[in-house]
Amino acid sequence: MYIAEVILNKKESENIYLLGIKVSKNILKKFEPGQFLKIRLNEKLDPLIPRPFSVHFIESNILYILYQVVGKGTKSLSKIKKGDFLEFWGPLGKPFPRLKDYILCAGGVGVAGFGYLLQKNKKDKKYLPRKIFYGAKTKNELVRLDFFKKFHIPIEISTDDGSKGYRGFITELLEKEIQKNPKTILACGPFEMLKKIAKIAEKFKVDAYLVMETFLACGTGFCKGCVVPLKKGGYLHLCIDGPTLLSEEINLNGIY
């Protein structure tokens, strides 16, 4: 485990925070977009298991994480302050596949890990997405929009309540786009959104890479706890085979 100093833990919306931790450049350079790190609040027994987070972006020697408070782990994390220290381990998992001519689709805080993907590829434009689809429940939860706009990639927006952009689910906009212009999809967001995207991909015969989430204990392949069923039978282990998996290979109905 590495020890890192917290330099920022700022509220971006009601439940979403931006955390910045100081990390040595030797460690930072190992991180590829799509990989994750696990964070543990020092020596705490409850919550016991470190929580996984994607890298939102890296600037100088600061690693930024965008997270939503959903349970005990993220609630504890939201209470730490600038100058505190935390333990982390990473990079873990496989990077995103190296895609060209593709579309990004993010639901809520699922947008987090795409920041680093854009940042890392901004000089090599063929690896940037053609379009970004970004949906959230409300306008307030569409966090970090200004950050994503800086990459000059067309962004389509939706909110469930219509407070900004299209009123409805982002998958509805995505489906229209794929119908017109079939492309590979890279998606991260709520499980129901990923299930819908798997269906869209099947319908229009495009590949969809889904960034999956499940409770991870070790994150290192040690415990075999985070299985995702394969359509052909057997399982993948999300922490070492993922977290990004090709939708046509996995049985999403066997997960929950």
Partner 1 sequence: MVSIKIRNLELKTPLMLASGTWGLGENLDQFLTQQEIKKNIGALVTKGISIYPNEGNPPPRISETPCGLINSIGLENPGISVFKKIYLPKLKNYEIPLIVNLHGEKIEDFVNLVEELKEEKIEGVEINISCPNVEKGGIYFSSDPVAVKTLLKKLRKKWNRFLSVKLSPVGAVFEIAEICQREEADAIVVANTYPALKVLELKPFKVLKGGLSGPAIKPLTLRLVYELSKKLEIPVIGCGGIISGRDALEYLLCGAKAFQIGTANLINPRAAIKIMEEIKVLKDGLCSERYS
Residues lying near partner 1 in the complex (CB under 8 A) are found at 1, 40, 45-50, 87, 89, 214-215, 217-218, 220-229, 233-235, 240, 254-256
| Token reading at 106 | 């993010």
Q: Which is nearer to partner 1, 83 or 234 (CB)?
A: 234
Q: How far is the CB of 217 from partner 1 (least distance, A)?
A: 5
Find the shortest distance in angstroms from Cβ 225 to partner 1. 3
Q: Nearer Cβ to partner 1, position 159 or 247?
A: 247
Task: Give the residue with the Cβ less far from partner 1, 40 or 144.
Answer: 40
Q: With contact defined as beta carbons under 8 Å apart, do 15 and 74 qualify?
A: no
Cα-trace Rg, the chain: 18
User: Rounded to an integer, what distance in angstroms lies between the CA atom of residue 57 and that of residue 65?
Assistant: 7
Tokens (6 digits) for 29? 């350079």
**Complete DSSP assignment for 143-202:** TTHHHHHTT---EEEEETTSSSSEES-HHHHHHHHHHHS--EEEEES-HHHHHHHHHHHH
In the complex with partner 1, the residue whose CB is nearer, 90 or 165, is 90
Q: How far is the CB of 223 from partner 1 (least distance, A)?
A: 5
Identity of the residue, 47 or 182, whose beta carbon is nearer to partner 1 in the bound complex: 47
Distance CA 98, CA 195 (A): 22
Q: Are 185 and 170 in contact (CB under 8 A)?
A: no
DSSP character at residue 110: G
Which CB sits closer to partner 1, 7 or 28?
28
Supply the minimum distance, in Å, between the C-beta of residue 137 and partner 1: 21
CB of 227 to partner 1, least distance (A): 5
CB of 234 to partner 1, least distance (A): 5
